[in-house]
Amino acid sequence: MPEQTEARIAGTLFGAITVLCWAGFNVAAKAGVDAGMSPSAVSFLRYLTPGFVAFPLLIWLRHRNRGKGLPGLRLCILAVLGGPLFGLIAVAGYQYAPLSHGLLFAPVAVFVSGAVFGAVLLKERIFVSRVLGAFIMFGGLAVLVGFETPDARGTWLVGTGLFTAAGIMWGGYTVLLRLWQVPLLEGTSAIAAFGAVFAALLLGPAAWPSLAETSTVMLLTQLVMQGIVGGILSVVVLVAALQRLTAQTAAVLPTFTPAVAMIIAWVVFGTRPHSVEFIGAAVIFLGFSITTGGTSVLNAIQRRRSAASETNPVFPT
């Protein structure tokens, strides 16, 4: 029991750090774009930095496994869906829409697309709780866009479209990771290494002019927040949290990010969140909670039925 308690405490701590990392690099990305940095420059730092760690690790893993590893085509697909292109699209949305739109539209798009792709590719059931939760989340998004905030310019529709596209890409990325049974350590290092190559080749030429015009303070801030916090630390603490938390608890982590990010932006930059943004975040949090809670209960019922069926196969309950 003490070990379980320590694991829960450690898992909660790692989960909190994960949320802070996610919120922090999103706020930093918005600040960088508002300061004049191009989305390609922000995404370039986000994906190039982890490559310096990923390449040596990947070489060592391939040597240990005698050259066997993930097929190149699958790595390329995963690197496209979860790499620099995904980051570029997500950051570009901040040129057209407020911070809250990116923090709320993208996770909902990840959830909905992940459920659809999971049903098609993994043959997963879509429970009623997921459908109900999705409708509630859409209600939260409707609240957010139904009451236009002062910093939501007329181009917000473009921004939310980009956030939604990025969310769909990440939803496909997560489902393919499960479909192809990608090993955690090797998969993470390989995808990060490929992402660094793509960032250097595809984003580098467009990123350099913007990086050259960026102030030293902002450049160092983005290097730390995007490359180290977003590209490395967030991955490490998320893995540590997933090893100690239940799946239901871990699934709710992203829903804390919007509120935390808006509070960070308020404290650091003085951009006070509007009440409608908190209301939208709360409604979406409710939708996620219903989804994860309902799915957990249904899975438990299904496991009990399976156990009863194995015990008494003639009269399954």
* DSSP codes, 75-93: HHHHHHHHSHHHHHHHHHG
- Give the pLDDT mean for 54-64: 82
128 contact partners, CB below 8 Å, separation of at least 6: 294
229 within some domain: no
* pLDDT tens-digit readout, 67-103: 566 777 888 888 889 888 999 999 999 988 888 888 8
227 within some domain: no
What does the alpha-carbon distance between residue 35 and residue 29 come to, in Å, rounded to a whole number?
A: 10
172 within some domain: yes
By the 8 A CB rule, do 129 and 66 touch?
A: no
pLDDT of the residue at 153? 57
The total number of structural domains that make up the chain: 1
pLDDT at position 170 over 80: yes
- Give the pLDDT mean for 112-125: 87
- Domain range for 162 is 51-215+248-311
29 within some domain: no
pLDDT at position 210 over 90: yes
Rg (CA), the chain: 21
By the 8 A CB rule, do 94 and 159 touch?
A: yes
pLDDT of the residue at 3? 67
Q: Is the pTM of this model over 0.85?
A: no
Average pLDDT over the chain, rounded to an integer: 80
Higher pLDDT, 102 or 313: 102
86 within some domain: yes
Task: From residue 312, give the alpha-carbon distance in Å to each of 286, 304, 306, 308.
Answer: 39, 12, 10, 6
By the 8 A CB rule, do 262 and 277 touch?
A: yes
Q: Tell whether the torsion through CA atoms of 144, 147, 148 and 149 is positive or negative.
A: negative
Residue 24 falls in which region: left (phi positive, over 0), alpha (psi -120 to 50) or beta: alpha
45 within some domain: no
pLDDT at position 236 over 90: no
239 within some domain: no
7 within some domain: no
Helix (H) / strand (E) containing 123: none
Q: Give the confidence band of 147 by pLDDT, cuts at 50, 70, 90.
A: low
Q: Where do runs of H (alpha helix) occur along the chain?
A: 2-34, 39-48, 51-64, 72-82, 84-92, 99-121, 128-146, 156-179, 184-198, 204-213, 216-222, 234-242, 247-269, 275-311
Task: Give the end-to-end CA distance of the chain in Å, rounded to a whole number.
Answer: 32
Q: Give the confidence band of 315 by pLDDT, cuts at 50, 70, 90.
A: very low
